[in-house]
Amino acid sequence: MEHYTMNLTLKVWKQKNANTAGSFETYQVKDISSEMSFLEMFDVLNEQLIREGKEPIAFDHDCREGICGMCSMYINGRPHGPWHGTTTCQLHMRAFKDGDTIVVEPWRANAFPVVKDLVVDRTSFDRIIQAGGYISANTGSAVDGNAIPIDKNKADKAFAAAACIGCGACVAACKNSSAMLFVSAKVSHLALLPQGEVERKSRVLNMVSQMDKEGFGSCTFTQACEAVCPKEISVSNISRLNGEYIIAGLTSENS
């Protein structure tokens, strides 16, 4: 693959906190390698700003391997940038051309208040998980991996749903800021497995209730969430969640 360097103009959202108005700042970066990741390019920019005595840009990152979901950037109008099925840290600068202008923003959702610049508070996702994303299990030694037979089709669907990394790209892409793809992935993962049977009804009721409390919008099934999901979580999980929710509401002892 041909290696080349480029000069770029970056328009980056700067905001002190959720209670302060933000604005775009323009930066120039030079001699950026096409083989750098997008976050490495931001490292270069921040080093440049520090040398100039300016405040660096705050952005989230951790594993830089597409696993943790921290690298939440809205790049040129798309969560995680132009590549399909890719997190920001997996996006390489060869996705852009010399002389390009790149616009970078944080996730935009009331349930994801800005902490600073490109960093948003996604603890609302944590509270949704705490509301029902767990199973009951006996203490002691781990159960043998093959002790409970599981249908291959269900196992595959559960595994695909469990791939969700909770980055929030689905919320950022949705015109309603809905968290349904995230919640449905977490509900589907456990609803499809026998280990999740004990809390099956209370799980979906509690997680959806918490989602609503957090201020996420309603799902109108435009499928924008699936289109930008870095782990390609299917919207079929939303249909499954709706079915689980209706059944739980009709049959739950607490209803």
pLDDT band at 253 (very low <50, low <70, confident <90, very high): low
The string of pLDDT tens digits covering residues 109-149 is 999 999 999 999 999 999 999 999 999 888 888 778 778 88
Q: What is the mean pLDDT of residues 203-222?
A: 97
* Residue that has been written with the tokens 């006996």 in this structure: 138
Q: What is the mean pLDDT of residues 198-224?
A: 97
**What is residue 202's three-state secondary structure?**
helix
25 DSSP β-pair partners: 12
Q: What is the mean pLDDT of residues 75-89?
A: 97
116 closest CA partner among 40, 69, 60: 60
| Degrees to nearest 5, angle at CA 73 with 72 and 74 | 130
Mean pLDDT score across all residues of the chain: 95
The string of pLDDT tens digits covering residues 89-115 is 999 999 999 999 999 999 999 999 999
pLDDT band at 39 (very low <50, low <70, confident <90, very high): very high
Instruction: Report the topology of domain 5-105.
Output: Ubiquitin-like (UB roll) (3.10.20)
The string of pLDDT tens digits covering residues 57-73 is 999 999 999 999 999 99
Q: 174-197 burial by CB neighbour count: b if 16+ within 10 A, else e?
A: beebbbbbbbbbbbbbbbbbeebe
Query: Is the pLDDT reported for residue 254 higher than 60?
Result: no
Q: What is the pLDDT of residue 147?
A: 83
252 vs 16, more confident: 16
Instruction: Report the topology of domain 122-136+150-251.
Output: Fumarate Reductase Iron-sulfur Protein; Chain B, domain 2 (1.10.1060)
Domain ranges of the chain: 5-105, 122-136+150-251
The string of pLDDT tens digits covering residues 166-204 is 999 999 999 999 999 999 999 999 999 999 999 999 999
